[in-house]
Amino acid sequence: MDSSRITANRPLAYQSGFGNEYASEAVEGALPGGRNSPQRAPLELYAEQLSGTAFTAPRRDNRRSWLYRRQPSVVAGRYAPYAQPHWQTGGDRDIAVPPEPMRWHPAAIPAEVADIDFIDGVRTMMANGDADAQIGVGVHMYVAGRCMERRALINADGEMLIVPQQGRIVVTTEMGVLDVSPGEIILVPRGVAFKVALPDGVSRGYICENYGAQFRLPELGPIGSNGLANARDFMAPVAAFEHESAGGYELVKKFGGRLWSAPAKSSPFNVVAWHGNLAPLKYDTANFMTIGSISFDHPDPSIFTVLTSPSDTPGTANCDFVIFPPRWLVMEDTFRPPWYHRNVMSEFMGLVYGEYDAKPGGFKPGGASLHNLMVPHGPDEEAFDKASHAALAPQKLDHTLAFMFESRYRFIPTQAALDSPELDRDYAECWVGLKDQFGGR
Ligand SMILES: O=C(O)Cc1cc(O)ccc1O
Ligand SMILES: [Fe+2]
């Protein structure tokens, strides 16, 4: 990876917190004190504001940062269309989506993976809403075997929540460098340039491209002032910039559902100092403080919400990011796996590692499932039988990490996902053995 070309005051150190006023300088004296845009910024840097919310967004939601850089972002060549036909945007309502449970087996790593970087490795599985309307999300898988080196990705259509499933990624951003392993996640704000390096070789994972309101921590209500994902466990990078040596860069921008490419004479990772509350963040799901039932019954999975992107209707998310981490099950006289249910929200699920208790055999790490709104689903026959007869001793669900992107909007799989050989055409078989065992007469 090319972090050898990165100068940082504390390499791969982080600043902790979610949405606080971070401040970091890679060279001492690069931040102007107590003001944002002095007549001449320190060290002859350019001051540039990056707004993540409208100028006039309520103070509680308002996100912006000030970047002090060697050249402003406007210094770039002209953009030309860039072909990446697998990355699609918004729900295609001409696609007929069967109202039934769907599941995809993990895709094999392609033979040509060594030639595929993060940008070219994105494959859209499904999407809803519309990036221009700033509603909905795109759900993608990525697989990459090549570092982006002198390519940078800038997504104007949405923020990117990346969930590596296999293989570490080192993400260089305008604000600094973040090292993200499976089990951790990274949230890259809309518009922030970044590139992905692969220190351990091939990486594969899931992406939620959020066209809507930024992900934030959920309200805690009666849980109180601690718990679930704690703000202090989110890590923003410290300022770091690339030394110029090896010539130009390619900027790849996602804008209006299309990708575009422009040459740049020098690295966009040229921010010497920055301050503000808009920043890429990583989070280790091992720090999630899980709440569960300590009496009886299986609670709603909203207790596992890490981040939520609200819609205009309170409590009805554009998208919730929910995890099912290792935890104890202690409930008495309770069917402990997820119940059978139909949900007005639509559920995309992925599995980082281990087994998911509702589908111990059929759902594999790197696979995916879709239970759209009002599509009935629940434990497969094996899970039902086991859980109906298990001795209800305290039980640790260990070595497992499943997650859900849950949205109020129907997910529309891409035609490629519907036609894919990985689509499990026998998914319904996992429930056919659930007999009518009614004992009443
Ligand atoms: O369908 C699923 O497996 C996800 C899920 C888990 C759970 O514990 C309760 C409801 C729910 O949708
Ligand atoms: Fe569900």
- 351 is written with which tokens? 């599995």
Mean pLDDT of 59-84: 97
pLDDT of amino acid 367: 98
Question: How does residue 12 score in pLDDT terms, banded at 50, 70 and 90?
Answer: confident
125, pLDDT greater than 80:
yes
**What atom in ligand 1 is closest to the CA of residue 337?**
8
Q: 6 falls in which pLDDT band (50, 70, 90)? A: low
- The pLDDT of residue 9 is 40
379 lines ligand 1 (CB under 6 A): no
C-alpha 193/C-alpha 7 separation (Å) is 17
pLDDT for 153-168, tens place per residue? 999 999 999 999 999 9
Amino acid type, 438: F
Q: What is the residue type of 59? A: R
pLDDT above 50: residue 225: yes
Tens digit of pLDDT for each residue in 366-419? Answer: 999 999 999 999 999 999 999 999 999 999 999 999 999 999 999 999 999 999
Residue 440 confidence (pLDDT): 75
Length of the chain: 441
Give the pLDDT of residue 10: 42
CB 401 within 8 A of CB 183: yes
- Contact predicate 353/286, CB 8 Å: no
**275 is known as an active-site residue:** no
**Cβ density class 105-125: b for 16+ within 10 Å, e for less:** bbbebeeebeebbbbbbbbbb
With CA atoms as reference, report the closest residue to 126 among 102, 109, 157, 153.
Answer: 102
149-188 burial, b at 16+ Cβ within 10 Å, e below that, comes to eebbbbbebbbbbbbbbbbbbbbbbbbbbbbbebbbbbbb
H or E element that contains 152? strand 151-155
Q: Is the Cβ–Cβ distance between 137 and 206 less than 8 Å?
A: no
For residue 4, what pLDDT band results from cuts at 50, 70 and 90? very low
Q: How confident is the model at residue 115 (pLDDT cuts 50, 70, 90)?
A: very high
Residues 6+ apart with CB under 8 A from 318: 129, 135, 136, 137, 210, 212, 213, 309, 310, 311, 407, 408, 409
- Measured in Å, how far apart are the chain's first and last C-alpha atoms? 69
pLDDT at residue 38, rounded to an integer: 98
Contact 424/100 with Cβ under 8 angstroms?
A: no
Alpha carbons 367 and 351: distance in angstroms, whole number: 6
Q: Where are the domains of the chain?
A: 2-285, 287-427
Take residue 98 and report the two structure tokens written for it. 């069967």
Helix (H) or strand (E) holding 432: helix 429-432
Degrees, nearest 5: CA angle 214-287-229: 35
Tokens of 14: 């982080």
Q: Fold match between 2-285 and 287-427?
A: yes
> Model-level pTM?
0.97
DSSP string computed for 33-60: TT-S--SS-GGGPEEEEEESS-TTS-TT
d(CA 164, ligand 1 centre) in Å? 21
For 255-267, what is the mean pLDDT? 97
Residue 7: is its pLDDT beyond 60? no
Percent of the chain surpassing pLDDT 70: 97
Residue 302 has φ and ψ, to the nearest 5°, of -60, -20
Please count the other Cβ atoms lying within 10 Å of the Cβ belonging to residue 223: 13
pLDDT digits (tens, 9 = 90+) for 177-193: 999 999 999 999 999 99
pLDDT tens track for 321-352:
999 999 999 999 999 999 999 999 999 999 99
What pLDDT, on the 0 to 100 scale, is given for residue 279?
98
Distance (Å, whole) CA 264 – CA 201:
27
Distance 338 CA to ligand 1 centre (A): 5
Q: Decide: helix, strand or coil at residue 78.
A: coil
Residue 8 has pLDDT above 80, yes or no: no
What pLDDT does residue 441 have? 62
- The amino acid sitting at 222 is P
| Per-residue model confidence (pLDDT) at position 2 | 38
Q: Which residue has the tokens 């575009």?
A: 260
- Contact criterion met (CB below 8 Å) for 72 and 259: no
The response to whether residue 183 sits with its C-beta less than 6 Å from ligand 1 reads no
Across residues 78-105, what is the average pLDDT? 98
Atom 12 of ligand 1: nearest residue by CA position: 301
Distance, CA of 53 to CA of 127 (rounded, Å): 23
| Distance from Cα 322 to the centre of ligand 1, integer Å | 10
Give the nearest ligand 1 atom to 358 CA. 3
**Ligand 1 pocket, mutate which of 103, 303, 349, 351 (most atoms under 8 A from CB):** 349
- pLDDT averaged over every residue in the chain: 96
pLDDT score at 5: 45
Catalytic residue among 140, 243, 275, 298: 298
Binding site members for Fe cation: 341, 347, 377
User: The domain 2-285 is classified under which CATH number: 3.40.50.720, 3.40.190.10, 3.20.130.10, 2.60.120.10?
Assistant: 2.60.120.10
Q: What is the pLDDT of residues 402-416, one digit of tens each?
A: 999 999 999 999 999
Q: Is the pLDDT of residue 98 over 70?
A: yes
- Please give the distance, rounded to the nearest whole angstrom, from the Cα atom of residue 329 to the centre of ligand 2: 18
Left, alpha or beta for 203 (phi > 0: left; psi -120 to 50: alpha)?
beta
CA distance 308 to 216: 5
For residues 247-264, give the mean pLDDT. 96
Report the CATH number of the 287-427 domain. 2.60.120.10
Binding residues for homogentisate: 356, 377
Give the CA dihedral 19, 20, 21, 23, nearest 10 degrees.
Answer: -90
Locate tokens 């449970």: which residue? 101
Question: Best of 102, 293, 300 to mutate for ligand 1, by most ligand atoms within 8 A of CB?
Answer: 300
DSSP 73: T
